Amino acid sequence: MSTKAVNKKTSFIPKAPALSWWALLLLWAVFAMNAIDREMMFRVMPAIVEEYNIGADTVGTVTALIMFSTGILAAVGMSWSDRGGKGWARKYRHLPIVVAYTLFSILTGVGFLTAGIMGFMILQVLKNAAGGLGEGIEVTSVAEWWPKEARGFALGAHHAGYPWGALIGGLIITAILSVTGDDWRMVFLLIPLLMIPIFTAYWMFARPSRFKKYQEKALEMGLTPTIDEGEANEVNRKGAVIDSLKNPNILVGAICCCLGIAVFTGINFWLAPYLTFVADFTITEAAGWSVIFTITGGIGQIFWGTLSDKIGRKITLLICFAWLAVSFWLFQFVASGLTALILIQLFAGCATNAIFPVLYSLVTDSAKKGYIGTANGIALTGLYTGGLSPFVLGLLIQAGGGWNSSSGYMSGLYFMIACMILAFFLILFFTRETVGAKRGRDFSLVSKESCNIYDNTVQNDKSSISV
């Protein structure tokens, strides 16, 4: 069966080898735990504020430093990961990273290590630095275990592990806080232990014989493996990062990742304190009700990721960024009642997480041969630079009267809306479509060749090898 024939299939769920689905399931669970580790501090933020007795500006600065650290290892670390092996072999450099972010998360729950806010911040910075690199490896591993024709679906389904992991984590956190009397340290001590059996299962699954079988089955189905057998053993040349940054799709993709995480991190920083200090929810209630958007967050990632395989990455991103601008404007009404809180979160959740797998797909589509991990690392570096947004939000909240005044929170919302409008126009003017009927035929101020897009598959393969 030809690739064109596969693309004409009308089924929303794509065909793929069974081993691709197993890899997706296991890597989903790994990424869900990575997400839970990263989101725990947001869910217990009111309790942390009360214990350390700190203002919004201090919390914003601490949170910004923690989130910014998530991207500091990504670009260089992913190049390091590429050199250690691709496909199934990527697990060898994945293991120490998983151990690191799990361990530092657990240590955050040790009382004498976090007796002051500085100890808490240092451990979370170390944890997030490892977790960000882990995300890059996890995303790239999924791309390598799936054929190119279903890349948007695979990355969207995989990234559903973040919102749904956060939802599962939020429920577990609420239960732990209820039993322990708001002891936030027990959350860090207990939940990360779940990673041990999960990653063990993936380690045992990822074997060379299985990866070769996946590649053979994909070819039998008329699909295109993301990496071929020879590429799995290739070592990247020096200069992969600089070379990739010259590609507008990768550079602008990274910038829009930055803007996207600025609002995603921002709303996580914003919501639980707003519900606690302005809307008069208890700490436990705020932890539970602030994760409703994660329900549609996972659905949105799968839907928009899959749709991007059919209608294109660029048009999908334009729709999602416009959707988010409207969504964040609506958040000013979440204190109107429980119904409003639920409906607004569900509406926003349709796109809050969806932009990231589509951006990763855009970047992966545009990468030169052998540079997928490096390109995703650049996207992740850009992504978590946006983690500095709580610093801005903290200043706005403090300037507006502090934790108990709604004025600063509203200023923060309009800051996030502006970020989404900027991302919309960057995608419109400075990227090129990589898949679908409009591939290379869309409106843009940059050339398709600069984005590694050529008129046919043969030319594109040649360009991917060129330096």
261-290 tens-digit pLDDT: 899 888 888 888 888 888 888 777 776 777
| Whole-number pLDDT of residue 75 | 74
Q: Which tops the pLDDT comparison, 138 or 391?
A: 138
212-226 tens-digit pLDDT: 999 999 999 998 888
Q: Among residues of the chain, what percentage have pLDDT more than 70? A: 92
**Structure tokens of 411?**
């200023």
DSSP state of 220: H
| Whole-number pLDDT of residue 280 | 80
**Overall average pLDDT of the 93-104 stretch:** 95
Identity of the amino acid at 357: P
CA-based nearest residue to 467, from 238, 249, 250: 238
Domains of the chain, CATH where assigned: 19-465 (1.20.1250.20)
| Whole-number pLDDT of residue 235 | 53
Query: Which residues, listed in sequence order, are joined to residue 225 by a DSSP beta bridge?
Result: 147
Using the CB atoms, write b or e for 304-325: b if 16+ within 10 Å: bbbbbbbbbbbbbbbbbbebbb
Mean pLDDT rounded to a whole number for the chain: 86
| Whole-number pLDDT of residue 467 | 25
| Whole-number pLDDT of residue 239 | 66
**Residues near 139 by Cβ (< 8 Å), separated by ≥ 6?**
31, 155, 158, 159, 357, 360, 376, 380
**Overall average pLDDT of the 62-83 stretch:** 83
Residue 52 φ/ψ, nearest 5 degrees: -90, -10
pLDDT of residue 184 exceeding 80: yes
| Whole-number pLDDT of residue 234 | 56
**Residues near 111 by Cβ (< 8 Å), separated by ≥ 6?**
185
CA 169 to CA 288: how far, in whole Å? 10
* DSSP H helical ranges for 230-353: 240-245, 248-273, 283-289, 293-311, 313-330, 338-352
pLDDT classification of 466: cutoffs 50, 70, 90: very low
409-433 tens-digit pLDDT: 999 999 999 999 999 999 999 999 9
pLDDT of residue 463 exceeding 70: no
319-338 tens-digit pLDDT: 999 999 999 999 999 888 88
Residue 225 φ/ψ, nearest 5 degrees: -60, 140
346-391 tens-digit pLDDT: 999 999 989 998 998 999 899 887 777 788 888 888 888 887 888 8
The count of other CB atoms within 10 Å of the CB of residue 278 is 15
| Whole-number pLDDT of residue 229 | 59
Q: Of 64-78, 139-153, 254-268, 283-297, give the lowest mean pLDDT range.
A: 283-297
